[in-house]
Amino acid sequence: MSKIEIKNIYKIFGNYPDQILPMVKEGANKELVMEETGHTVGLDNVSISIKEGEIFVCMGLSGSGKSTLIRHINRLIDPTAGQVTVDGVDVLSLDDKEILDFRKKTMSMVFQRFGLFPHKTIIENVAYGLEIQKVPEDQRKEIAQGQIDSVGLQGFEHQYPAQLSGGMQQRVGLARALATDPQILLMDEAFSALDPLIRSDMQKQLIELQSKLKKTIVFITHDLDESLKLGDHIGILNGGRLVQVGRPEDIIMNPADDYVKAFVKDVNRTKVLRAQTIMTKKDQFDATNINPSTIYKIDENTMIEEIIPKVLKERCTMNVVDKSGNTKGYITSDELSEALTKH
C-alpha cells in the first residue's frame, strides 16, 4: 500500500480560483490562464503515489510547482481541488486542531535556506519539534543531543545558527527534522543552497541515514543528477503538470517528451544505468560462439561505468547474474554502445 497518495490535485493562485478551475480542467495551459484571467496555475491535475520507505524525488525547474506540491502533503497549502491521503487518512478533512497533531506526529520538513530559528541555539533548534509537542525539557535535550551527535555536530550545541557554515546549518536542519522521529520526511530543495562538495557529502549522508532509518522521503530538487542519485522513483514536473514518473533508468532510457529529453541529454548515463537495464536477455542471446574464457560474471545491479573499461580492453562478454547466481542476460560492447548512444 502506498504511504502518500496524491490524487488529481489542482492548485490555482489568485483571487477567484474556483471560477478558473473549470477552464484549467478543460486543458488550458498555464500561459493561457495567466494571460486571460491573471491567475497562476500552480498544479494541474497531479497524481502521485509514494510507497513506504522509498525516496521519491520530485524534479522540475523553478516555477514548475514542485515546492507547491510538497506543501500539499503537510497542508501548508490547501489545494483548489483534489485529494491527499497519508497513511489512509484524508489530510484535507482534518480540522485546525487535528492538522496540528498530524504535522507533529507524522512528518517533518527540511528547507532550502535551512529555516533555522536564529534566536535559538543549535540544541534548542533541534529540540524545537519536541518543544512543540510539550516533551519535558530533560528528555528533549537528551534526544536532541543524540541527533546532534548522529550528524556530527558535537561541540556546537550552544552556538547560534549564524555562527555555523551552510553545510553545518543544513545538518542542524536534518537533525531537527529527525528529532521527532517522523515517518515521513519532506525535503524542499534541501541541498540546493550548498556548494557542490558539501552537497555530495550531504547526499551520501542522507543515503546512509536512509539505509538505517527507512523513512518515507519526498525530496525536491531542480538538479537531475541529484534526483538520479537519490531517487527510488522520480516525478518530473513542468508548468504544474506531471510529465513523467518512473525509476531513474526509465527516465533516462525512455524520456516521455522533449522537455524530459532536454534534461536527460547531458546526464552521465554510465553512473545511472545498471547492468540489468541494458543487458540482452539470455533467451535472446546466442552464447554458443563465445569463448567461455572471456566471460565474466557480474551482479545485475552493477553500474555500467564499472564494466566499460574491462569490456573495452579485453573485448569480453559480461554474464549478468542475480543474487543467487542465476544467469539473467549478457552484455557485450554492442549493448554498451547501444545504451550510450544519444537518441
Partner 1 sequence: MIKKLLTYLAIPVIFIWLLITSFKASRWKPDNANELLSDFSWLNDWPKWLDIPLMKWINDWFKFFNEEYGIYFEIVNNFLLGAILSLKKFLVFLPWPLVIALVVAIVFFSSGRKVGTTVFVGICTFFIGFLHPKFWDKAIETTSIMLIGILICVFFGIPLGIIMSRSRKVRNAILPVLDLMQTIPSFCYLIPGIMLFGLGAVPAIIATVIYAIPPLVRLTDLGIRLVDIEVIEAAEAFGASRRQKLLGVQLPLALPNIMQGINQCTMMALAMVVIASMIGTRGLGDEVLLGLQQLNVGKATEAGLAIVLLAIVLDRITQAYGEKIQDRNRPLDKFNEKAKMKKAAKKQVTKESTKDGMEAEVKTN
| Angle made by CA atoms 268, 58, 79, in degrees to the nearest 5 | 160
How are beta strands 89-90 and 81-86 bridged, if at all?
A: antiparallel
163 near partner 1, judged by CB under 8 A: yes
Out of 129, 240, 255, 329, the only residue in the binding site for partner 1 (CB under 8 A) is 129
Q: Residue 165 has which C-alpha cell? A: 557554515
Q: Minimal distance in Å, beta carbon 221 to partner 1? A: 17
The total of other beta-carbon atoms located within 10 Å of residue 29's CB is 13
Binding mask 12-41 for partner 1 (x = CB under 8 A): ------------------------------
Q: How far is the CB of 231 from partner 1 (least distance, A)?
A: 22
Q: Verify binding: residue 113, partner 1, rule CB under 8 A.
A: yes
Told to check if 162 binds partner 1 by CB under 8 A, we report yes
Q: Does 104 bind partner 1 (CB under 8 A)?
A: yes
Q: Which three cell numbers stand for residue 41?
A: 496555475
Q: Is 219 in the site for partner 1 (CB under 8 A)?
A: no
What distance in Å separates the CA atoms of residue 28 and residue 23, rounded to the nearest whole number?
6
Taking CB under 8 A as the binding criterion, the range among 56-64, 127-135, 216-224, 244-252 that sits at the site for partner 1 is 127-135
The answer to whether residue 133 forms part of the interface with partner 1 (CB under 8 A) is yes
* β-strand partners of 186: 109, 218
Find the shortest distance in angstroms from Cβ 100 to partner 1: 5
Site for partner 1 in 55-84 (CB under 8 A): 74, 76
Q: Which stretch binds partner 1 (CB under 8 A): 130-138, 142-150, 222-230, 333-341?
A: 130-138
Write down the residue that cell numbers 510529465 correspond to. 243
**Residue range at the interface with partner 1 (CB under 8 A); choices 41-49, 100-108, 214-222, 278-286:** 100-108
Binding flag, residue 100, partner 1 (CB under 8 A) = yes
Residues 168-187 binding partner 1 (CB under 8 A) are 180, 186
Q: Tell me the closest approach of the beta carbon of residue 95 to partner 1, in angstroms.
A: 13
Q: How far is the CB of 133 from partner 1 (least distance, A)?
A: 8
**Per CB under 8 A, does 114 bind partner 1?**
yes
Residues 69 and 1: their CA atoms lie apart, in Å, by: 21
* Residue 95 vs 286, nearer CB to partner 1: 95
165 scored as a contact of partner 1 (CB under 8 A): no
Say if CB 123 and CB 141 are below 8 A apart: yes
Q: Which is nearer to partner 1, 90 or 117 (CB)?
A: 117
Q: Which stretch binds partner 1 (CB under 8 A): 28-36, 94-102, 196-204, 244-252?
A: 94-102
Site residues (CB under 8 A) for partner 1? 74, 76, 100-105, 107-109, 111-119, 128-129, 131-133, 159-160, 162-163, 180, 186
